[in-house]
Structure 1
Amino acid sequence: MKKRLLGVIDATTYAEDLKDLTLHRSVAAIPFGGRYRLIDFILSNMVNSGIESVGIFPKYPFRSLMDHLGSGKNWDLNRKRDGLFFFPFSSDDKPNFGMNSFEHFAANIDFLNRSTQEYCLISDANTIFNMDFNPLLEWHMEQGCDISEVRRDGAPLNIFLVKTSLLLELIDSRDKTGNYCMRDVVTDIDSPYQVCYYPYEGFAVTVDSIDQYYFASMEILKPTIWGQLFLKERAILTKVKDEPPTHYSKSASVHNSMIANGASIEGIVENSIIARGVKIAKGAIVRNSIIMQKTQIGENSILDHVIVDKDVKVESGITLIGTKDAPKILQKGSIIKGACVNS
């Protein structure tokens, strides 16, 4: 089956409610789970399903995403044939240029024309899930579908399966039909194509808001959810970094949390996700929070329901309190001073 599927990842998603985390990166590059980026899930799912050729279609800013993906080596996509392809587009001056845009695909049509795979799997880059696409392909062929859309509990996951030849036809006829993306096609009541809906029953969250990001992050702290996402036989792959193991001092206390390598913990961590290289000083308390890479939390500081972006410095004695429904967000590279900051 693996030679029959071509992967296309649309990384152009923009969500206004995620703007505090996307000032310097795309949605696809938002850190997740202490070690990963959002795009790691769909990219790993494709690779684990045997897909050997993947095209990524991002919009500006994409430097962080390119730095994370590199040559695709960490996903075994640095190949002489097929492999990982990157097709950035930085302009907004074209109409109908949005999610799964046929305009974006048309601008890089050689990628599709030269592909040898019979079928194409198109997906966004911001859904947290772990799925084998081979059963989807088998089901698609058995049902005689023209287009299959993956759904969970009736809600679309922005994942489409279509013959590559049909995708080329849809791109070529976009101005005539007025369908400028796959969503337009599957919702067109006059469409001549048989559209099927494939039910996915595992854990899946599409991250398009801070609420969804925080919810998904806290959910993976549950063993049952963790077990659905991080499987030995279908590992979620990410950029490898050579860092030492996490250091825990005698004063450290950690409960129900994910701590990435390279961190240094001297304080208390509860129900939180701590990324690589984070330092939590003695007497500091971090609860129900997400702390991203290389952040420093000073002595005797208290963080509860806080999302801290990369390279933030929280000085000693700071109190930051958010809520489950409105977590406090600290932007990348900020320095937090003062005696007390509450929501």
Structure 2
Amino acid sequence: MNRTIGLISTNYSVPGFGSVTEVRPAASIPFGGRYRLLDFALSNMVNSRIQTVGLVTPYFYRSIIDHVGAGKPWDLSRKEGGLYILPGTVFGFHEENARFLFRDLLHNLEYLRQGDGDYILVSSGTLVANIDYQPMITRHELEGKPVTLLYKKMQPGEKRPGRYLTLDGDTVAGIRRADEGENLLLDCFIVDKSFLLRMARDYAALDYMDFLDILAHVLPEVAVGCCAFDGYVAFMDGMEDYFRASLDLLDSSVRRELFQSDRPIRTKAHDTPPALYAPGSAVKNSVMTAGSIVEGSVENSVCFRNVRIEKGAVVKNCVLMEKCVVKAGARLENVVCDKNVTVSENKIVCGTAEHPCVLAKGGVV
């Protein structure tokens, strides 16, 4: 079988995240108590036996580099292959649903040329799912089409802005942007390296476009394949999606699908003692992470490392990122607290399930 190398794009903006992405790229947003969104894309590639991965970073890449380092948690700190940190073009691409700026590919042709793979598996850094790419790679090789797109069949009545595929059997007949449809293109595809290098030569003048938009224009001349994924996917187009996906983790069936023992989601390790539950505290149906101290009440919430809930405080339907402090008597409901937020004594902060209240990093309420 021909070898496949990976390419993960993180050089794009997601305006729906607001203040959360003022201090970090969307791919490095903390998720699930101990992970970052990027962990899923990296782990999926490594679990699919891809040993060379390029990571296209934006100009404010500090949090990404701090998290991934040399790639050791993903077994990518190696002499052959491994993790390559690649520069993205300044400011990236601000159009909604755009993830693969063609200029970023052109800017990193040396990585693509020198890579030892005949195929390149490309993914966004915010695709939250546990995907085995091997069946997709095998299908791509057997069918012989230069591109294979990953998609998810949507349920009737389910709405989600994005790119939708029109299929003719196993061939993609069209790609269109819409608010709803049947076959939603996920932020992932496999492309023959030779085909991508040809596109880089022939369409260099369109470097301001997304690769998938260019592909949509050349469909009449190019046979494009497709592969369906029917597992759980957490879409990440803004804080409402993030909040919903975070609380989905309280469902044991979702946790079992995302965090499989034979396909682990790897992340940067922290040496932190277990959470401490003080006498009189109450925790119900929540994700509590190492280093937290709980003296109050927590229900249906996700709490990251080193969170402190003081006596008499009530936290319900919330996401509290690392080192947040909820003082005595405070009450939070339907709230997302970024890192290092402090909620003062007896304060009440409430959002709604559809529109959670978001407290910016380092804030004091």
Partner secondary structure for residue 217 of structure 2: coil
Q: Report the AA paired with residue 164 of structure 1.
A: K
Distance 2:108 2:303 in 1: 39
Q: Tell me the CA shift for residue 152 of structure 1.
A: 0.8
Distance 1:189 1:90 in 2: 24
Distance 1:99 1:301 in 2: 40
Q: Tell me the CA shift for residue 70 of structure 1.
A: 0.7
> 1:271 maps to what in 2?
300
Q: Which string of whole-angstrom CA distances, capped at 9 and with x for unpartnered residues, describes residues 73-106 of structure 1?
A: 111111111111111236249999x631221122
Structure 1 residue ranges without an equivalent (≥5) = 337-343
> 2:146 maps to what in 1?
146
Q: Report the AA paired with residue 80 of structure 1.
A: K
Contact 1:45 1:133 (8 Å CA) reproduced: yes
4+ residue runs of structure 1 moved beyond 3 angstroms? 92-96, 175-181
> 1:58 maps to what in 2?
57
2:195 to 166, 172, 176: 166
Contact 1:126 1:208 (8 Å CA) reproduced: no
Q: Tell me the CA shift for residue 176 of structure 1.
A: 6.0
Q: Which string of whole-angstrom CA distances, capped at 9 and with x for unpartnered residues, describes residues 183-216 of structure 1?
A: 1243125542211121100001220111111111
Identity of paired residues, percent? 33
Contact 1:245 1:262 (8 Å CA) reproduced: yes
Q: Report the AA paired with residue 252 of structure 2.
A: P
Q: Report the AA paired with residue 77 of structure 2.
A: N
> 1:21 maps to what in 2?
20
The Cα RMSD (Å) is 1.9
> 1:31 maps to what in 2?
30
Q: Which string of whole-angstrom CA distances, capped at 9 and with x for unpartnered residues, describes residues 29-57 of structure 1?
A: 10100101111001100011111111011
Contact 2:281 2:311 (8 Å CA) reproduced: yes
> 2:158 maps to what in 1?
none
> 1:6 maps to what in 2?
5
Q: Tell me the CA shift for residue 143 of structure 1.
A: 2.6
Q: Report the AA paired with residue 83 of structure 2.
A: L
Change (3 A) 1:51 1:17: same
Contact 1:7 1:53 (8 Å CA) reproduced: yes
> 1:252 maps to what in 2?
281
Q: Tell me the CA shift for residue 175 of structure 1.
A: 3.2
Task: Please give the residue correspondences for 1:1-343 in structure 2 after superposition, counting only pairs within 5 Å.
Answer: 4-89=3-88, 91-92=90-91, 99-153=99-153, 154-175=183-204, 180-188=209-217, 190-336=219-365
Contact 2:296 2:311 (8 Å CA) reproduced: yes
- Count of matched residue positions in the alignment of Structure 1 and Structure 2: 334
Q: Under a length normalisation based on structure 1, what TM-score does the superposition of the two structures give?
A: 0.93
Partner secondary structure for residue 41 of structure 1: helix
Contact 2:8 2:54 (8 Å CA) reproduced: yes
Distance 1:189 1:244 in 2: 55
Q: Report the AA paired with residue 147 of structure 2.
A: I
Distance 1:107 1:186 in 2: 18
Q: Tell me the CA shift for residue 110 of structure 1.
A: 1.2
Q: Tell me the CA shift for residue 145 of structure 1.
A: 2.1
Return 181-190 or 280-289, whichever deviates more. 181-190
Partner secondary structure for residue 16 of structure 2: helix
Distance 2:268 2:231 in 1: 25
Contact 1:26 1:60 (8 Å CA) reproduced: no
Change (3 A) 1:280 1:162: same
Q: Report the AA paired with residue 147 of structure 1.
A: V
Contact 2:101 2:208 (8 Å CA) reproduced: no
Q: Tell me the CA shift for residue 178 of structure 1.
A: 7.6
Q: Report the AA paired with residue 196 of structure 1.
A: G
Contact 1:160 1:182 (8 Å CA) reproduced: no
